[in-house]
Amino acid sequence: MSKAIVALDCMGGDNAPGEIVKGAVLAANENKNINIKLVGRKEDIEKELTKYDYDSNLLEIINATEVIETGEPPVAAIRSKKDSSLVKCMYMVKNGEADAMVSAGSTGANLVGGHVIIGRLKGVERPPLAPLIPTKKGVSLLIDCGANVDARPSHLVQFAKMGSVYMENIVGIKNPKVAIVNIGAEEEKGNALVKETYPLLKEIKDINFVGNIEARDIPEGKADVIVCDAFVGNCILKLYEGVASVLLSKIKGTLMASLKTKIGALLIKKDLKKTLKSFSIEEYGGAPLLGLKGLLVKTHGSSKAIEIKNSILQCGTFKEMDLNNKFKEKLNLENK
């Protein structure tokens, strides 16, 4: 099988280019079957690369002089900055010079550019952004957290199918449980979108649809693929972060409250830190934007090298497992 080629936006995110380039080196040292194109200001990237040992056959610099900032209006940025690292990565995927791309840059520009420049797989109605979120049991795929805020039932049906393929092939969960976010467990509950979507999901033979999931049961890990429209998905994703962060700051405050608790804190600090890290959304690498002609993995703006590395490796698995053909298969089954 041919090697996966991954275009890496080296100028996007708060820690670019340092952590991004470091992530590329880590990935190259872990998987020799991936060629990484480092896209961005040549001299900046070269400077970072001098810090590391790596196989120079696996890393190649593609010069791009412009940078899209996080605050820029996405559509205008994509249109005007043709020589930005982000837009250049997108054209590489579009033109088949790369199988996939990774970016820690502006979410808006990634969503818009993914759609407009890379383009959808034929038959995919709306490409969903699908981050992995931590649960009691491991991880679940929250699909969609992207831009499709007023989704239709047919979109959610495609999300369920693509999500199922993704969890089975990339995360390695056999026959993943697919559920739709709802405000109760009973079939007749929900808003108009969910009520219309439920019977459609129930009919699909080749996914393991388990019915409704209440938000309370998402952190419990009661389903592997969590289907919802992007408005609800965004609320879930951000509240996950918000509740965890406030709770932790409250716990920290308690631990520092007295001499007694400070001593106690010393004894549990290391283990507690590990536990809390395992429940941090940022630990699980980037979120794939699915259903495009190639894969786009959007990592957090605050991404460190480890998240970049994991995202590049994810691109490798995506190519290796031939995921886009598996998507086509799964989606076509419905169109019969």
Nearer to its own copies, 75 or 333 (CB): 75
DSSP, res 175: S
Of positions 25, 100, 218, 225, contacts its own copies by CB under 8 A = 218
Judged by CB under 8 A, which of 96, 138, 199, 264 binds its own copies?
A: 264
Residue 40, strand partner residues: 63
Angle at 287 between CA 212 and CA 73, to 5 degrees: 110
Nearer to its own copies, 96 or 253 (CB): 253
Q: How many CB atoms lie within 10 A of CB 165?
A: 24
Compute the distance between CA of residue 71 and CA of residue 88 in angstroms, rounded to an integer. Answer: 19
State the nearest-atom distance from the C-beta of 296 to its own copies, in Å. 19
The residue among 76 and 268 lying less far from its own copies, judged by its C-beta, is: 268
Q: Give me the long-range contacts of 182-191 (CB less than 8 A, separation at least 24).
A: 182/212, 182/213, 182/214, 183/214, 184/212, 184/214, 185/211, 185/212, 185/214, 186/212, 187/211, 187/212
Candidate list 56, 122, 192, 335; residue touching its own copies; CB under 8 A: 192
Position 336 contacts its own copies (CB under 8 A): no
Nearest CA-CA partner of 130 in 112, 153, 148: 148
Q: Is 277 near its own copies (CB under 8 A)?
A: no
| Residue 14 in the binding site for its own copies (CB under 8 A) | no
Residues 105-144 that bind its own copies (CB under 8 A): 135-136
> Residue written as tokens 């439920």?
198
Smallest distance from the beta carbon of 316 to its own copies, in angstroms?
A: 31
Q: Does 223 bind its own copies (CB under 8 A)?
A: no
Binding flag, residue 302, its own copies (CB under 8 A): no
Tokens of 140: 């679940």
Among residue numbers 315 through 334, which ones bind its own copies (CB under 8 A)? Answer: none
Q: Judged by CB under 8 A, how many residues of this single chain contact its own copies?
A: 58
Radius of gyration of the chain (CA): 21
Instruction: Choose, by CB under 8 A, the member of 65, 95, 175, 249 that binds its own copies.
Output: 249
Query: Binding residue for its own copies (CB under 8 A) from 65, 95, 258, 302?
Result: 258
Residue 144 gets which letter from DSSP?
-
Give the separation between CA 78 and CA 183, rounded to whole angstroms: 38
User: Interface residues for its own copies in 149-178 (CB under 8 A)?
Assistant: 149-150
Is residue 96 classed exposed, middle or buried when 0-12, 13-18 and 19+ CB atoms within 10 A define those classes? Answer: exposed
Which residues would be at the binding site for its own copies (CB under 8 A)?
135-136, 149-150, 181, 183, 190-192, 194, 214-220, 229-232, 234-247, 249-251, 253-255, 257-258, 260-261, 263-268, 271-272, 274-276, 278-279
